[in-house]
Chains A and B, each alone.
Chain A
């Protein structure tokens, strides 16, 4: 084996220029696999994080039917008992918060439109969603402050209003009547997507409960776990524990079907990209190896005449390809990681396409993310398929007859 390694290594440097050219092809190919998959994972990751902090959390608990028909008619009255179950079943480090979430109409003298009214427990909510950290003007809600409301920056502009002004919220209460209540804008939040800023308004949980006449009932509990990978397991456990409570437990994948589908599409796209890039460099690998084999026909003939077995020659040629592939992979991975590392701090700023990003629900700055399975996948594709396509020249080399080879000029 040692001999093969040595001969193989020396053989690829017999023609440094040729080796350099094919290595360049492999390196660019591998770099693109690592770097572009990192970018795509970054986009997907951002979508997931945006989605999760956009009031989704990792898990949500709702009364039956609420998700199909999100109205005040479906609510959880025994929130305390539910909290007890949660305390028992959630892993250490998990946080949860109670909410009332209903459709409402927000209006002032200038404008009115539909919004999602969210009643929150300010202290708890701060631990699991974007609201408290996204306040750019004014202040966050204080518990007990039943007149304050937090709105998005885009909503403020649409209503031509400002901090301290009134906003009237109207929604259907538990009796089916329209109840309205005036709030004073105490804080303004800003998010990546304008749609979020226009959609959500936040008030104290107790204020909504009073407005809708639902006592201490709530419409959802959002749970943030230490890691999003735990979502499925914990959801299963909760479903069992809450079997007779008439509660739906949904994971973030259930709640964000679009994000889930996007990630799936990215998965297949990344794999296809690996394959396409490989095919592009595969032609080069075959051609280069073929050339390297054919110009050494006499040499192979001589080796065979001296008694070298075809299997050994095949192994020798394959070892050469393996060296090429390994060198290419090494440099390609290194470059890929370096470019990802270089962008890890600043990200790629796509503000030039701001309206387009908004349209497809993407943030403006993309931070590449390395996923081990992509890196492993890229390397495997290149090594396995690379050796597979080199088998043809190797087989050729091994099956020249000595006479054929020695008479070749």
Chain B
């Protein structure tokens, strides 16, 4: 061990109380950041997975312009060939077909506007979480022809229960009147009011027949192995569609394009989070700057002696930097470990926020939030603290080089 490291280490413990307090300040900041970032990343994951699970899937193939207008005539004309193209992509775990149209839903007593969605029950269950959101009754089966699932709030508004009849009246692909009668087989509760208030799910076959779809659909919905696969799959699929189908009327959209608000609200949350963290660390930095400054100023005579005996200013700077960086590193280490421990505890047990259940539900979050410990949250949290505190320590370490031995000895 070089002499500098040894001296720095001993200097550190000449004033135990001060060193401990400084380390504690750094550890506190680091702990807080690790925890908060894990919290944020954890909620984002759940938000994205819920939204992707209920609404969009990871990717969709649609007719160009359908995403903006959602008009019933904007169809994917040959879903079988798109299916074939999708099936050849290894990262895609499942895909399903959907068709959607606005319809008037009438029970015996009430009429409400609703979004009728035709789904293929078997593949839908593999792609989305809809099958798991059954509140009452059962999910559609492959053999069902005139059964339907209604959102919980819609069923409540329509005053309709299991087994009762529902009339759907809308406009078909060719402008004709689309009408059909279905029986309620199940009630769906996603927790997201807009969805639960407006959705009726019916078998795709029935939809195609009633809405004059002639075998076409509106969306081919894909689920990938993970979020990371989305970008490469999208590129691959775009090429395939262009080559195999030779059609420029189809587009491949990923979940960020299908739900632009979601990603941006996450960005917004992240940015505002970082503003808070940044201010916090600046406060911590000034809090500990005094420790570093004082440990230099109160030793002016000592440095004078060392300089007079021939210690180079470079060596003094190195000693001081070793001192401050070991304090910083110890603080960050303790903070990161404690932060990880606290995070892990809550990752297992979850945190309930009083009175927030309703807000959380709107964003597809459960009542108890589980922060998610990840390499990313630990390294980003520690990294920010490291950079800012280390910058703080540079000033005193370089200031010492300007000492003149004679003056320093008189101090």
Interface residue A327 (Cβ < 8 Å from any Cβ of B): no
Q: Give Cα A257–Cα B356 distance, bound, in whole angstroms.
A: 10
Give the distance to chain B from A105, nearest Cβ to Cβ, in Å.
4
Would you give the 0/1 interface string for B10-30, flagging 1 where the beta carbon is closer than 8 Å to chain A?
000000011001101100110
Provide the residues of chain A in CB contact with B123, threshold 8 Å. none
Known contacts A170-B104, A265-B356; A358/B261 CB under 8 A: yes
Interface residues of B in 1-54 (CB under 8 A from A): 17-18, 21-22, 24-25, 28-29, 32
Provide the residues of chain A in CB contact with B236, threshold 8 Å. none
- Flag the segment in A22-30, A52-60, A302-310 that touches B: A22-30
Provide the residues of chain A in CB contact with B286, threshold 8 Å. 21-22, 24-25, 28, 281, 284
Q: Is the CB of A359 within 8 A of B28?
A: no
Q: Give Cα A69–Cα B156 distance, bound, in whole angstroms.
A: 8
Interface size, chain A (Cβ < 8 Å)? 58
Interface residue A262 (Cβ < 8 Å from any Cβ of B): yes
Q: Is the CB of B171 within 8 A of A112?
A: yes
Which B residue's beta carbon lies closest to that of A286? B21
Q: Is the CB of B293 within 8 A of A261?
A: no
- Flag the segment in A121-129, A142-150, A215-223, A272-280 that touches B: A272-280
Q: Give Cα A355–Cα B104 distance, bound, in whole angstroms.
A: 29
Provide the residues of chain B in CB contact with A104, threshold 8 Å. 113
Q: Is the CB of B22 within 8 A of A287?
A: yes
Interface residue B225 (Cβ < 8 Å from any Cβ of A): no
Q: Is the CB of A283 within 8 A of B288?
A: yes
Provide the residues of chain B in CB contact with A115, threshold 8 Å. 113
Q: Give Cα A265–Cα B362 distance, bound, in whole angstroms.
A: 15
Partner of B25, one of A105, A171, A284, A359: A284
Give the distance to chain B from A31, nearest Cβ to Cβ, in Å.
9
Provide the residues of chain A in CB contact with B308, threshold 8 Å. none
Partner of A105, one of B104, B260, B297: B104
Provide the residues of chain B in CB contact with A17, threshold 8 Å. 293, 297
Interface residue B71 (Cβ < 8 Å from any Cβ of A): yes
Which A residue's beta carbon lies closest to that of B362? A258
Known contacts A280-B29, A291-B294, A353-B265; A36/B359 CB under 8 A: no
Provide the residues of chain A in CB contact with B354, threshold 8 Å. 264
Q: Give Cα A288–Cα B21 distance, bound, in whole angstroms.
A: 10
Q: Is the CB of B265 within 8 A of A283?
A: no
Q: Is the CB of B171 within 8 A of A290?
A: no
Interface size, chain B (Cβ < 8 Å)? 61
Interface residue B279 (Cβ < 8 Å from any Cβ of A): yes
Q: Is the CB of A112 within 8 A of B102?
A: yes
Provide the residues of chain B in CB contact with A262, threshold 8 Å. 359
Would you give the 0/1 interface string for B321-364, flagging 1 where the beta carbon is closer than 8 Å to chain A?
00000000000000000000000000000000111101100110
Interface residues of A in 342-388 (CB under 8 A from B): 350, 353-360
Q: Is the CB of B283 within 8 A of A29?
A: yes
Provide the residues of chain A in CB contact with B17, threshold 8 Å. 290
Q: Is the CB of A18 within 8 A of B290?
A: yes
Give the distance to chain B from A176, nearest Cβ to Cβ, in Å.
7
Interface residue A71 (Cβ < 8 Å from any Cβ of B): yes
Interface residue A137 (Cβ < 8 Å from any Cβ of B): no
Give the distance to chain A from B342, nearest Cβ to Cβ, in Å.
14
Q: Give Cα A190–Cα B389 distance, bound, in whole angstroms.
A: 48
Q: Is the CB of B22 within 8 A of A283?
A: yes
Interface residue B110 (Cβ < 8 Å from any Cβ of A): yes
Provide the residues of chain A in CB contact with B29, threshold 8 Å. 280
Q: Give Cα A36–Cα B289 distance, bound, in whole angstroms.
A: 24
Partner of B284, one of A22, A105, A112, A280: A280
Q: Give Cα A288–Cα B286 distance, bound, in whole angstroms.
A: 11
Interface residue A46 (Cβ < 8 Å from any Cβ of B): no
Q: Is the CB of A276 within 8 A of B280?
A: yes
Partner of B110, one of A172, A281, A295: A172
Partner of A114, one of B113, B159, B287, B297: B113
Give the distance to chain A from B373, nearest Cβ to Cβ, in Å.
20
Known contacts A17-B293, A262-B359, A284-B286; A36/B279 CB under 8 A: yes
Would you give the 0/1 interface string for A383-398, flagging 1 where the beta carbon is closer than 8 Å to chain B?
0000000000000000
Would you give the 0/1 interface string for B262-290, flagging 1 where the beta carbon is closer than 8 Å to chain A?
11111110010001100110111011111
Provide the residues of chain A in CB contact with B288, threshold 8 Å. 283-284, 287
Q: Is the CB of B25 within 8 A of A283?
A: yes
Q: Is the CB of B283 within 8 A of A281?
A: yes
Q: Is the CB of A36 within 8 A of B276?
A: yes
What 5 pairs across the A-B complex have the smallest Cβ distances? Answer: A114-B113, A284-B287, A359-B261, A356-B264, A25-B286
A-B residue pairs in contact (CB < 8 Å), sample of 21? A21-B286, A25-B289, A36-B275, A103-B112, A103-B113, A172-B111, A176-B109, A178-B106, A265-B355, A279-B28, A280-B28, A284-B288, A286-B21, A287-B18, A287-B287, A287-B290, A290-B17, A290-B21, A355-B260, A355-B264, A356-B261
